[in-house]
Amino acid sequence: KGKRAFIAGIADDNGYGWAIAKSLAAAGAEILVGTWVPALNIFETSLRRGKFDESRKLPNGSLMKITKVYPLDAVFDNLEDVPEDVKLNKRYAGSTKWTVQEVAECVKEDFGSIDILVHSLANGPEVAKPLLETSRKGYLAAISASSYSYISLLKHFIPIMNPGGAAISLTYIASERIIPGYGGGMSSAKAALESDTRVLAYEAGRSKKIRVNTISAGPLGSRAAKAIGFIEKMIEYSYKNAPVQKELLADEVGNAAAFLVSPLASAVTGSVVYVDNGLNAMGLAS
C-alpha cells in the first residue's frame, strides 16, 4: 500500500520542501502539503496556472500530483492562540482552520491517517541581526516558528500517524559551529531542533514506533535563504571547501529525506544526518 505524506513548508518550487515532495512522490507516496497562510494564494494560483509544471516532472516523466494543499501557520497550535490582529489580517481572514491542531483534524477527516511527516519550515524575523542585538521577542519568535513548530506538528499528527511512520526536518550547521550572519536566534533555534529530534525520537519511538530524524543540509538559494542575505557567499564557500566539489542540489536532500522516512532506514532514529557534500567534516577551509 502506498504511503501518505504531509509536508509542512512548501510555498514555491525552489525550497527543500518541494524537492522532498518530489522524491517522495517519485517513490510512490501521496503528497499533502501545508502552506504558510500568507503565501497560500500565490502558491495555489501558480500551481493551478501550470507555473510549476516543469519542476513537477518526476524521473518517470509524469508530473508530481499534490492531492491537497492546506493553509497552515505553525506558530499557532489552536484558535485560542491566535491574536485578534492576525484573525483580522487580510491575508489570514480568507482562510480558516490553519492552526496546527485544526490542520491535523482536517487531514484526519479527509484521509484518516498519514505515514510520513515532513517539517521544512523556519522563520526568524531578526535573522539579519547578530545574536547580541537580537531582541527577546525576535529570539522567541525564531524558536517558536523554527523549533517548537516541529514539536507541535508531531504532537498533533502522531495520533493519526501509522505505526512504523517517520518524521523528518531540516536543520543547519550553524547550530554547532559559528556561522557569522545566521543571526536572530536562528542558530539557537536549530540547536533546539537537533536536541529535540533526539528526545522526540525517544518519545515517538516508545509510544508508536515512529522514527524522528533531521537533515543538516548544505546551503541552497531558496526563498527563505535569500532573505538572510549571504546565501550566495555560503554556496560559493561550500563549493570551494567541501570534500565533494559540486553544486548541492535540492533533489539530493530530497532523496536523502525519502531514504530516511523509508523502511530502508528502519533502524535510523534520533539522528542528525548531514547532506552537505561533506562540508561539516572539514576542520580548515581549503
Residues identified as active-site: 172, 182
74 binds ligand NAI (CB under 6 A): yes
Residue 57 is classified by DSSP as B
Angle between helix axes 149-157 and 100-111 (nearest 10 degrees) is 30
What are the distances in angstroms from CA 180 to CA 129, 133, 230, 233, 237? 10, 13, 10, 12, 13
CA distance 4 to 11: 19
Which of 4, 5, 6, 16 is the binder for ligand NAI (CB under 6 A)? 16
Non-local CB neighbours of 242 within 8 Å, separated by 6+ positions: 218, 276, 277, 278, 279, 282
170 binds ligand NAI (CB under 6 A): yes
Instruction: For the CB of residue 246, give the shortest distance to ligand NAI in the complex, in Å.
Output: 16
Which of 30, 73, 115, 126 is the binder for ligand NAI (CB under 6 A)? 73
C-alpha cell belonging to residue 20: 522532498
Instruction: For the CB of residue 214, give the shortest distance to ligand NAI in the complex, in Å.
Output: 9
CA distance 214 to 167: 8
Which of 194, 219, 257, 273 is the binder for ligand NAI (CB under 6 A)? 219
Instruction: For the CB of residue 15, give the shortest distance to ligand NAI in the complex, in Å.
Output: 2
- CB closer to ligand NAI out of 160 and 186: 186
CA distance 227 to 124: 10
Instruction: For the CB of residue 163, give the shortest distance to ligand NAI in the complex, in Å.
Output: 26
Q: Where along the sequence are the contacts to ligand NAI (CB under 6 A)?
A: 9-11, 14-17, 36, 39, 72-75, 120-123, 145, 170-172, 217, 219-220, 222-225
